[in-house]
Structure 1
Amino acid sequence: MLRRRFTPILGAAPAFVRALSGRPADRPNVLWILAEDNGPQWSCYGYPGLETPNVDQLAGEGAKFTQAHSTGPVCSASRSAFNVGLYQTSTGTHHHRSHRKDGYTLPAGARLVSHRLKEAGYFTANVLDIAPGLKGAGKTDFNFTAEKPFDGTHWNQRAAGQPFFAQVNFNATHKGPAFVQARRQPKLIDPAAVQLPPYWPDHPTVRDEFANYLDCVQLLDRQVGTLLEVMKKDGALDNTVIFFFGDNGRCLLRGKQWCYDAGTRVPLIVKWPGMVKPGSVREDPVVLLDVTATTLAAAGLELPEWFHGRPLFGSRAQPRPYVATARDRCDMTVDRIRCIRDARYAYIRNFMPERPYTQYNEYIERQYPTLGVMKELHAQGKLNATQALFMASRKPEVEFYDLKDDPHEVRNLAGDPKRAKLIGQYAARLDQWMAETKDRGGEPVLAD
């Protein structure tokens, strides 16, 4: 494979162009603001009833991507991909919370983006202390062993004049203590006002869970605002490229752990003064691996020979015709699902259709009260046909959705003879992607 080199992007940004000189002091800082389990439920994305002024301002100062997806619908698999720039299914890191005790390392040619940047002269940090009462989660969650992923825990620990690469991980939208904390905010989302997707029953518990998640989005917005204010006072936003994105989709039923839109579509906002037009909107499909590629490009580094990410900006940017996403074992729950999607259609292949959507998963049983409601109503025969789809005893082998007419992905067109040719084209795309990326999902699932 030919080695690829990033070339300067047209625009009036001399500091960024100077980054190509190779001198670390001239290179821009790079900041990743990561939101755990967060979909594009933000007011800048058109979601009603939310007040998210800080992230909205960031979107107004940069580019907003409306079709950004994680490579997997669960944190460890997704993070094992975008922190490297390769699909998790190619590096053997596709099973959730795997390789925690066996010393497994990345295959030859695969490296952490933080290690590549450190080698180029960057100080790398997974930020912890931000402000009184606010800390970063410090999450890595890699499905591999890596020696010292980061140099430190704060951008201020770098040497004078040294550029930094910092990750700030916020867990406000991850199920846990933040969901309790979010309820203490002075202004909460009214459960009666939330717009439920058609696959959930209209029930007080369901409305409360969804509203609580949206409360957490507003809490996260406040935390992002605090972070940016602290960094501004420190002078740490000067000459800094900012990426804001979720690590996977929302932590609600039919979201996290599934390859539907709600499980992998995430917010992605990039602020790059002089390079990115403020307030611009990108509707082309992208994956978080492209954040990795753009980060390396911003630092003036060549992309590795083995690499799946593509720069989002500049003359070497290559729009993707579609994105691929993958779900494998999640905790104790074995499954294998692959998806090819673009702005119009989604093709999902269930390699284990005999395993129902509701096969036992301890995390979901404990953390998703909507599932308990649906089980109860299903037993009583009170779910409508759309809601009952999720309670089926097995999954279809193939799911195919027209996202223009069916954005919630509830009308499976896989059996429509009029669309057989079109479905075959998407099936071929998936087969090609699996072959080209050497998808390892078919290997035996070993106990960790």
Structure 2
Amino acid sequence: MNGKQYLLTWAFALFVIVFNLEIKAAAPPNFIFFITDDISVADLEAYGGPIPTPNLNKMVASGVRFENAYVTASSCSPSRSSIITSRYPHNSGSPELHTPLPQNQWKFPGRLRRNGYYSALSGKNHMTWNGVIDDNSRLADAFDDIWKGGRPSGSANWVQQLRKRPKDKPFFYWLASHDAHREWQFTEEASRFSAEAILVPPYHYDGPETREDLAGYYHEVARTDYYLGLIFEELERQGLADNTYVIYTSDNGRPFPRDKTRLYDSGSKVPLVISGPGVPQGKSLEALVSLIDIGPTILELADIPIPEVFQGVSLVPLLLGRKAAVRDYIFVEHNWHTYPANERMVRLGDWVYIRNYNYLDQNMCAESGRAIPAGKELWDAEAAGILQPEQRDIFLKPRPYEEFYNVRMDPNQFENFVNSGRYAEMLNHLRKALDVWTQDTGDTIPENPTVKIGNVNMSERGEFPGAARNATEIQLPGPILRSDVE
């Protein structure tokens, strides 16, 4: 081989290497959306909480942890339907517990699927159940495959499903655990916790039944971490870890009194951790984010246009460090969830404002009643007159119509500043912001709401929030930046 042939051979080899690298870099990324059930952010070791989460800790070390992520409703099906449509519950058409997602609503996994992705849901669905049947045809445009996933965890078949996926397509998996949802079921995949070691929130009654109840919850939270570890192991085994984004979160807070369904941080603030190609390692972000931002984020990472009907915003500028914030406001709603409710919340900075349209009623849900051990013990302590003031929240009747808190000074949201005369400028600003959001998104408080207590089917429901203004057809997202209100 002469010198010229030698140079040509090396030039061709270099071209092949560079071309293959470019093809590899241009390969569409994969996505795993790992959503747990009924887990409050403050309980996880990865966020400084008491429940060990070794695999989530590793994910935090290799990705971005969001310190202030919120659901749009602290209620299972409204929260999930809101995430998949990137729309507020009253705009999604699924604003109450067990209301099926309308088939004509756009869903971000469907956008992925129509752009060449294999899309699958495994585990808890809860976006199609109407109290009678589980009609998965409502999600047929979003997923190629839907697997129910049995109890206790709903996660046992995930590794096999990852192995059986089509190998010629990028993938999106919506992996939804049944943990940590009542009733507690114990297995060998997670530790058991002694009642004495439990950290009881100050607004719960600290008694033996509550401690045992929380120990069951701890076990199921720990089990979610076990399955998260299996997912990462399988991604490594298939050589997919470097090109797969993993997103970890929950649909609402822990299933205990004053937690689930409520607009306090214990109910509506959730974990959110994202790892994957190009994501900074070990970074924590204080920026406010909403779970309706998940869909736009995934679509931008996949280089797919974001539909105008989506009310969320992409978090990619935060992940890449181009912006310190992509939104100034968080809005959360509380509608019927086994008990009548109409509550709205807005957060700006460290300030939270809540408006309770059902202020004449107790603020209840199934997890507040005597049917669960922590609820029974709380009601018994109330009857005995031994509760502390901060433990009596669910018994207040009437309640304050307005609540106003600083979550940095008061993370448990005990000190209501509404009538204090302090911070009046911020209070008035948040009142205005909530009014603008209400108007822009078509939110309404029903004149004939669902009032039945307990599980209901569609024939027993009243008017939906937003129905009077045809909110399911509205595209406006409401205020995102402070300039949208001022």
TM-score (norm 2): 0.78
Q: Which stretch has the larger CA shift, 319-328 or 209-218?
A: 209-218
Residue 141 (str. 1) matches residue 94 (str. 2): no
Q: Which stretch has the larger CA shift, 84-93 or 295-304?
A: 84-93
Structure 2 partner of 1:97? 98
Distance of aligned partners of 1:17 and 1:249 in 2 relative to their CA distance in 1, 3 Å threshold: farther
Distance of aligned partners of 1:61 and 1:30 in 2 relative to their CA distance in 1, 3 Å threshold: same
Distance of aligned partners of 1:293 and 1:367 in 2 relative to their CA distance in 1, 3 Å threshold: farther
Distance of aligned partners of 1:233 and 1:140 in 2 relative to their CA distance in 1, 3 Å threshold: farther
Q: CA deviation at 1:260?
A: 0.9
SS in 1 for 2:33: strand
Contact 1:39 1:266 in 2 (8 A): yes
Distance of aligned partners of 1:171 and 1:157 in 2 relative to their CA distance in 1, 3 Å threshold: same
SS in 2 for 1:353: coil
Rg (Cα) greater in structure: 2
Structure 2 partner of 1:324? 331
Deviations 1:274-293 (A, max 9, x none): 2x111000111101111111
SS in 2 for 1:253: coil
Contact 2:242 2:277 in 1 (8 A): no
Deviations 1:22-62 (A, max 9, x none): xxxx21111101111112222121113x3211111011110
Contact 2:368 2:394 in 1 (8 A): no
Cα distance in 2 for partners of 1:220, 1:404 equals 29
Cα distance in 1 for partners of 2:40, 2:24 equals 30
Which letter does structure 2 place at the counterpart of 1:146?
Answer: R
Residue 118 (str. 1) matches residue 113 (str. 2): yes
Q: CA deviation at 1:238?
A: 4.3
Pick aligned residue for 1:44 from 40, 46, 57: 46
Distance of aligned partners of 1:230 and 1:159 in 2 relative to their CA distance in 1, 3 Å threshold: closer
Distance of aligned partners of 1:226 and 1:158 in 2 relative to their CA distance in 1, 3 Å threshold: closer
Cα distance in 1 for partners of 2:432, 2:29 equals 41
Cα distance in 2 for partners of 1:402, 1:317 equals 21
Distance of aligned partners of 1:238 and 1:248 in 2 relative to their CA distance in 1, 3 Å threshold: same
Q: CA deviation at 1:443?
A: 6.1
Distance of aligned partners of 1:293 and 1:379 in 2 relative to their CA distance in 1, 3 Å threshold: same
Cα distance in 1 for partners of 2:118, 2:190 equals 38
Structure 2 partner of 1:338? 344
Q: Counterparts in 2 of 1:223-262, with a 5 A limit?
A: 223-262=227-266
Cα distance in 2 for partners of 1:371, 1:159 equals 47
Cα distance in 1 for partners of 2:255, 2:219 equals 13
Structure 2 partner of 1:296? 299
Contact 1:93 1:143 in 2 (8 A): no
Q: Counterparts in 2 of 1:363-382, with a 5 A limit?
A: 364-365=368-369, 368-382=372-386
Pick aligned residue for 1:395 from 377, 395, 399: 399
Structure 1 partner of 2:12? none
Contact 2:193 2:218 in 1 (8 A): yes
Q: Counterparts in 2 of 1:158-197, with a 5 A limit?
A: 158-176=165-183, 179-181=184-186, 187-197=191-201
SS in 2 for 1:304: coil
Contact 2:103 2:139 in 1 (8 A): no
Cα distance in 1 for partners of 2:384, 2:441 equals 45
Contact 1:80 1:143 in 2 (8 A): no
Contact 1:59 1:269 in 2 (8 A): yes
Cα distance in 1 for partners of 2:328, 2:96 equals 27
Distance of aligned partners of 1:189 and 1:65 in 2 relative to their CA distance in 1, 3 Å threshold: same
Contact 1:155 1:164 in 2 (8 A): no
Which letter does structure 2 place at the counterpart of 1:152?
Answer: D
Q: CA deviation at 1:363?
A: 5.7
Distance of aligned partners of 1:195 and 1:79 in 2 relative to their CA distance in 1, 3 Å threshold: same
Cα distance in 2 for partners of 1:78, 1:264 equals 10
Cα distance in 1 for partners of 2:267, 2:373 equals 17
Distance of aligned partners of 1:69 and 1:143 in 2 relative to their CA distance in 1, 3 Å threshold: farther
SS in 2 for 1:67: strand
Residue 281 (str. 1) matches residue 284 (str. 2): yes
Pick aligned residue for 1:354 from 360, 377, 390: 360
Which structure would you say has the larger RCO, counting Cα contacts within 8 Å and 6 or more residues apart? 1
Which letter does structure 2 place at the counterpart of 1:37?
Answer: D
Cα distance in 2 for partners of 1:430, 1:143 equals 30
Moved over 6 A (4+): 13-17
Which letter does structure 2 place at the counterpart of 1:380?
Answer: A
Which letter does structure 2 place at the counterpart of 1:180?
Answer: Q
**Can you give the 5+ residue segments of structure 2 that lack an aligned partner in the other structure?**
1-20, 131-136, 147-160, 451-459, 462-486
**Can you give the 5+ residue segments of structure 1 that lack an aligned partner in the other structure?**
1-12, 19-25, 128-136
Residue 422 (str. 1) matches residue 426 (str. 2): yes
Q: CA deviation at 1:143?
A: 7.0
SS in 1 for 2:210: helix
Residue 150 (str. 1) matches residue 150 (str. 2): no
SS in 2 for 1:54: helix
Residue 384 (str. 1) matches residue 388 (str. 2): yes
Deviations 1:354-394 (A, max 9, x none): 11124xx5565365322211211111111122212331122
Structure 1 partner of 2:471? none
Cα distance in 2 for partners of 1:51, 1:363 equals 24
Distance of aligned partners of 1:374 and 1:16 in 2 relative to their CA distance in 1, 3 Å threshold: farther
Deviations 1:252-310 (A, max 9, x none): 21111111111111111000222x11100011110111111111111101111122111
Q: Counterparts in 2 of 1:53-132, with a 5 A limit?
A: 53-99=54-100, 104-106=102-104, 110-127=105-122
Distance of aligned partners of 1:417 and 1:320 in 2 relative to their CA distance in 1, 3 Å threshold: same
Q: CA deviation at 1:126?
A: 1.2
Cα distance in 2 for partners of 1:99, 1:354 equals 29
Cα distance in 1 for partners of 2:129, 2:189 equals 35
Cα distance in 2 for partners of 1:170, 1:367 equals 23
Q: CA deviation at 1:150?
A: 1.2
Cα distance in 2 for partners of 1:16, 1:374 equals 58
Q: CA deviation at 1:440?
A: 4.3
Q: CA deviation at 1:230?
A: 2.6
Contact 1:79 1:142 in 2 (8 A): no
SS in 2 for 1:180: coil
Structure 2 partner of 1:29? 30
Distance of aligned partners of 1:140 and 1:388 in 2 relative to their CA distance in 1, 3 Å threshold: closer
Cα distance in 2 for partners of 1:157, 1:171 equals 22
* Count of residues in correspondence between the two structures: 406
Q: CA deviation at 1:163?
A: 0.6
